[in-house]
């Protein structure tokens, strides 16, 4: 099989009318479909506001689970009740498990809720929509091309504060999952969180509190793929769904483009998000996974 050249494989594919050989050739390279991801953002925005505990939130959850099912990925919904400044609200995290050759887990996550606003209709194309969409396409890719580690792709509910951001009014879904996994002694080996990564003018800065070696590996992949203009060397500190895991000692990093003028305004709409930006972040992440797995497999002292 190895000796078959690309030309011969193509001829065989044409003759057979099927693509088993071509499929095997493609298996070598991980791919990310930015256009498919943008279509998910479009569908999510059409739902409207997707605040935790709302009918829109339920519809977003149904959309994610259904899109995963179409991609051949089974997901479980983990419902819980959260005490918020607006009372007790029903929320739910979504988890897709993509088994690898070893049981150790790398968790890749983002939030699918949108921030609640009394004054205007907030559809969160980038803030909520982009990471939700990215994760659906990442799950599809990791199902088609399983890796060494087992991946949990997680859509957190209730990342947004209902009122002002505090330790108890924020990160409802990720705080809950981190505590539960810690109790069960099943914390992941590493956590990667994406948030607001669909901005047309993509500029992701290093998140200051994140684990340095994990961020370094992702930035190295970005440079290798020619995406250095979108993965900038300066840093800023942002609290997000990676924080509850970091507090428990799990290596974690946050990918966020926080310099986004429409942030938490009615202008966070579909036209601000591009397939190209989603494609950039998806490709960089997939490229970084082998190096992250290698670093984790090394004894602690040997980590970069």
DSSP single-letter state for residue 229: G
Q: Applying CB under 5 A, which part among 3-11, 79-87, 120-128, 290-298 lies near Zn ion?
A: 120-128
In the three-class reduction of DSSP (H, G, I as helix; E, B as strand; rest coil), residue 101 is classed as coil
Region binding Zn ion by CB under 5 A among candidate stretches 94-102, 126-134, 143-151, 287-295 = 126-134
132 vs 94: CA distance, rounded Å: 11
Residues in a beta bridge with 218: none
Q: Shortest CA distance to 160 belongs to which of 255, 57, 293?
A: 57
CB of 174 to Zn ion, least distance (A): 13
Q: Kindly tell me which of 127 and 293 has the beta carbon lying closer to Zn ion.
A: 127
82 burial via Cβ count (<10 Å: 0-12, 13-18, 19+): buried
Nearer to Zn ion, 165 or 228 (CB): 165
Residues touching Zn ion, count (CB under 5 A): 2
Exactly one of 127, 169, 287, 293 binds Zn ion (CB under 5 A); that residue is 127
Cβ distance to Zn ion smaller for residue 118 or 185: 118
182 vs 239, beta carbon nearer Zn ion: 239
Q: Closer CB to Zn ion, residue 93 or residue 114?
A: 114
**In the complex, least distance from residue 188 CB atom to Zn ion, rounded to whole angstroms:** 23
Q: How far is the CB of 199 from Zn ion (least distance, A)?
A: 13
By DSSP bridging, strand 150-156 and strand 87-98 are antiparallel
Tokens standing for residue 51: 């605040």
Task: For the CB of residue 63, give the shortest distance to Zn ion in the complex, in Å.
Answer: 19
Q: In whole angstroms, what is the distance from residue 259 CA to residue 253 CA?
A: 18
Residue of closest CB approach to Zn ion: 127
Piece of 125-133, 228-236, 242-250, 266-274 that binds Zn ion (CB under 5 A):
125-133
| Binding string, residues 61-100; x marks residues near Zn ion by CB under 5 A | ----------------------------------------
Neighbouring-strand partners of residue 150: 105
The total of other beta-carbon atoms located within 10 Å of residue 232's CB is: 17
- Residues 24 and 39: their CA atoms lie apart, in Å, by 27
- Which CB sits closer to Zn ion, 53 or 251? 53
For position 287 contacting Zn ion by CB under 5 A, the verdict is no
Nearest-approach distance from CB 254 to Zn ion, in angstroms: 13
Site mask, Zn ion, residues 97-116, x = CB under 5 A?
------------------x-
* Dihedral angle sign, alpha carbons of residues 70, 76, 80, 84: negative
Minimum distance, C-beta of residue 89 to Zn ion, in the bound complex (Å): 17
Nearer to Zn ion by C-beta: 115 or 143?
A: 115
Smallest distance from Zn ion to CB 263, Å? 7
CA 20, CA 24: separation in Å to the nearest integer? 6
**Minimum separation from the CB atom of position 115 to Zn ion (A):** 5
Query: Are residues 111 and 128 in contact, defined by beta-carbon separation less than 8 angstroms?
Result: yes
Cβ-Cβ contacts under 8 Å for 15 (sequence gap 6 or more): none
258 contacts 198 by C-beta, under 8 angstroms: no
Which residues sit at the interface with Zn ion, rule CB under 5 A? Answer: 115, 127
């Amino acid at each position: 099989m190895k000796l078959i050249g690309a030309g011969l494989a193509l001829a065989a594919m044409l003759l057979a009318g099927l693509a088993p050989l071509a499929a095997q050739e493609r298996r070598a390279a991980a791919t990310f479909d930015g256009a498919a991801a943008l279509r998910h953002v479009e569908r999510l925005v059409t739902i409207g506001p997707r605040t935790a505990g709302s009918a829109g939130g339920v519809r977003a959850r149904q959309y994610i689970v259904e899109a995963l099912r179409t991609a051949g990925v089974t997901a479980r919904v983990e419902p819980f009740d959260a005490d918020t400044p607006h009372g007790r609200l029903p929320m739910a995290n979504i988890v897709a498990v993509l088994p690898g050759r070893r049981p150790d887990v790398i968790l890749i996550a983002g939030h699918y809720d949108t921030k609640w606003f009394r004054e205007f209709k907030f559809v969160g194309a980038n803030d909520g929509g982009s990471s939700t969409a990215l994760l659906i396409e990442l799950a599809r890719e990791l199902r088609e091309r399983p890796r060494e580690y087992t991946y949990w792709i997680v859509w957190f509910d209730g990342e947004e504060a209902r009122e002002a951001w505090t330790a108890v009014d924020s990160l409802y879904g990720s705080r809950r999952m981190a505590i539960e996994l810690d109790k069960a002694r099943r914390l992941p080996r590493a956590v990667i969180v994406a948030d607001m990564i669909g901005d047309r003018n993509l500029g992701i800065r290093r998140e200051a509190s994140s684990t340095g070696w994990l961020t370094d590996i992702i930035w190295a992949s970005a440079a290798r793929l020619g995406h250095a203009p979108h993965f900038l060397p300066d840093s800023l500190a942002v609290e997000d769904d990676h924080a509850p895991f970091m507090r428990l000692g799990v290596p974690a990093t946050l990918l966020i483009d926080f310099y986004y003028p429409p942030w938490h305004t009615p202008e966070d709409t579909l036209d601000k998000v591009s397939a190209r930006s989603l494609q950039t972040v998806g490709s960089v992440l997939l490229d970084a996974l082998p190096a992250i797995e290698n670093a984790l497999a090394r004894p602690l002292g040997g980590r970069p």
